[in-house]
A and B are shown apart, each in its own frame.
Chain A
Amino acid sequence: DGGITQSPKYLFRKEGQNVTLSCEQNLNHDAMYWYRQDPGQGLRLIYYSQIVNDFQKGDIAEGYSVSREKKESFPLTVTSAQKNPTAFYLCASSRRGTMFDQPQHFGDGTRLSIL
């Protein structure tokens, strides 16, 4: 079955440490996204990529970095510059459209906590 796989499901970060969250999709989608979800809040866009080797900052990109070397993969690094990294991180993908107007399909998330 086609879908989006996020790993790991749970991740713990020590102070001053960078951690990388994995996101892989086999839906043949061009566009991929990273969102952050905090308790009682909607999803907020961190980064997105409409095509390989290109990505754009979302609304809350500070303290995060991404790469898009392959169509199937869009890893997110949470750097030590992100002072409040504890959250549920969601990856999504979609067909490439205009102005985010294509249905987005989500993975089951990675929960990141601070040790």
Chain B
Amino acid sequence: GENVEQHPSTLSVQEGDSAVIKCTYSDSASNYFPWYKQELGKGPQLIIDIRSNVGEKKDQRIAVTLNKTAKHFSLHITETQPEDSAVYFCAATAGGSQGNLIFGKGTKLSVKP
């Protein structure tokens, strides 16, 4: 079945720097790749998503890139701010008849002022 690996598990950056989180997936049939931000004690919030027919998508300071050949996708956050500090999860749809979302184990991002 689908396996999603996420790296790094923790990431610390200075305010204003960029942050990059990478995920790899195993199922070539995966077609939807969302990214979620989770603050302490809250539920995950969708911040950006990409579908398999697109290579890159941007929304202000956030961008996601997808490389279907290599089966990896990345989250890029530019001009980081302290409020970007949270746990970020990637996910990919599993192929086959069930096709549920498989989540990575998360990256704890800390942005130091």
Q: Which residue of A has the minimal Cβ distance to B6?
A: A42
Interfacial chain A residues near B103, Cβ < 8 Å = 42-44
- B 89-113 to A, binary, CB cutoff 8 A, 1 in contact else 0: 1010111001111111110000000
Q: How many A-B residue pairs have CB under 8 A?
A: 65
Q: How far is the CB of B102 from chain A (nearest CB, A)?
A: 8
A106: which of B44, B49, B93, B100 is its contact (CB, 8 Å)? B44
Whether A40 is near chain B, meaning CB under 8 Å from some CB there, is yes
| Given A43-B44, A90-B43, A106-B43, A100 contacting B104 (CB threshold 8 A) | no
Q: Which residue of B has the minimal Cβ distance to A9?
A: B41
Let me know if B44 and A40 touch, CB within 8 A: no
| Given A40-B105, A48-B100, A100 contacting B93 (CB threshold 8 A) | yes
B89: which of A43, A98, A107 is its contact (CB, 8 Å)? A43
Let me know if B45 and A106 touch, CB within 8 A: yes
Residues of A within 8 A of B (CB): 4, 6, 40-45, 48, 56, 58-59, 90, 92, 98-101, 103-109
Residues of B within 8 A of A (CB): 4, 6, 31-32, 34, 36, 41-46, 49, 51, 89, 91, 93-95, 98-106
